[in-house]
Amino acid sequence: MFNADLLRLMHRIALGMPLVLPTLAAPFNYAGCYPLGYECPRDIVPAVVQYNSDGEGAIIDCAAACGGEGDEAPRCRAVDQTHVECLREVVMCPAAGRRPGGEIQRSATRADERDPTCAWLFDALALEASAVPAFDELASALEGLGAPVQLSARAREAREDELRHTEAMTRLLARRESEVSVRVRVNAAPAPTLYELALANAVEGCTREAFGALEAALQGARAAEPDLRAAMAEIAQDEARHALLSFDIDTWARARLSPADNRRLDAARSEAIAGLRQTLLRREAPAGLGLLTALEARALIRA
């Protein structure tokens, strides 16, 4: 089940109430964010740095030259006896959102793939577009499983929210690029069992959308450009309401599942948290978007 602090925080975001960063740390103990199987956009960033070896051709210590250790240590190669090139993998995740159960096929055009802000916005646009059929699937599945009518009605409303998010992201990109279009087609997925719905809801709704609401609220407060701040503040309120819907679906489903199935749901959340740690350790946020920085991400992991 969900900690009361997380529920209160989602209500605050849904109402548009101001948040401070320390408040955002607590919910990461209660729900994972990016789910298993989600691949964030990646790039390899090279940087040549000076490293004072002993001048005798000694093996260069990558961790000492480039910084970091373990999973955070970049790859490196010697340029000469005093310089190395550090090759660091950069991971940039857009705002999280619910994905459909069927296979997603996207076709898109984009004018500038090199600008990191446009790249992030483009991936966020694709995720928002994918969330539209995801809520169609959710509403139909809830109806098929005999869920309370208010749950499926809220899922239908969330679909309309995601349409507005897609339009908002399209406008943001259109102001920064000359040509943008995304088309999403989802192959139909079979109707889920109650447990399958609960598992997808735990990962896609209780984790992805909860994290999306948290980070979007942060962006709505501190993104550099006014149009992005305004868009993300509105998206944060919607995503928080979607997360609250997911929590209500979770409560309804768990009451009808066996104790063993509920333990499996708990294990899936724990696994999602482990995946979150790895993602946040490698993620680098483009300047100006208002995303969690690497330092803030580390603080959240320690929390």
Same-domain pairing of 109 and 235: yes
pTM here?
0.72
Query: Residue 301 above 60 pLDDT?
Result: no
Same-domain pairing of 160 and 57: no
Give me the domain span that covers residue 70.
Answer: 43-91
Same-domain pairing of 69 and 128: no
DSSP labels, the chain = ---HHHHHHHHHHHTT----HHHHHGGGGT--SSPTT----EEEEEEEEE----SS-PPP-HHHHH---GGGPPEEEESSSSEEEEEEEEE---------SSPEEEEEEES-SS-HHHHHHHHHHHHHHHHHHHHHHHHHHHHHTT--HHHHHHHHHHHHHHHHHHHHHHHHHHTT-S-EEEEEEEPPPPPPPHHHHHHHIIIIIIIIIHHHHHHHHHHHHH-SSHHHHHHHHHHHHHHHHHHHHHHHHHHHHHTTS-HHHHHHHHHHHHHHHHHHHHHHHHB-PPTTS-PPPHHHHHHHHH-
Query: Residue 206 above 50 pLDDT?
Result: yes
Same-domain pairing of 114 and 246: yes
**Count of domains for the chain:** 2
Query: Residue 298 above 60 pLDDT?
Result: yes
CA angle 186–188–193, rounded 5-degree value = 125
Same-domain pairing of 70 and 200: no
Same-domain pairing of 253 and 129: yes
Indicate the pLDDT class of residue 118, thresholds 50, 70 and 90: confident
User: What number is the average pLDDT over the span 120-142?
Assistant: 88
The residue among 59, 74, 91 that closes a domain is 91
Please give the C-alpha separations between residue 78 and each of 45, 64, 69, 72, in angstroms, as whole numbers.
Answer: 16, 13, 18, 19
Higher pLDDT, 168 or 72: 168
Same-domain pairing of 48 and 130: no
The residue among 91, 112, 131 that closes a domain is 91
User: What number is the average pLDDT over the span 271-296?
Assistant: 75
Indicate the pLDDT class of residue 222, thresholds 50, 70 and 90: very high
User: What number is the average pLDDT over the span 8-37?
Assistant: 57
pLDDT score of 117: 82
Query: Residue 133 above 70 pLDDT?
Result: yes
pLDDT score of 34: 30
Phi, psi for residue 82 in degrees, rounded to 5: -125, 0
Mean pLDDT of the chain: 75
* pLDDT tens track for 46-79: 555 555 555 444 445 555 666 655 544 556 777 6
Same-domain pairing of 118 and 261: yes
Same-domain pairing of 251 and 197: yes
Same-domain pairing of 80 and 135: no
Same-domain pairing of 83 and 199: no
Tell me the CA end-to-end span of the chain in Å, nearest whole number: 19
Same-domain pairing of 66 and 204: no
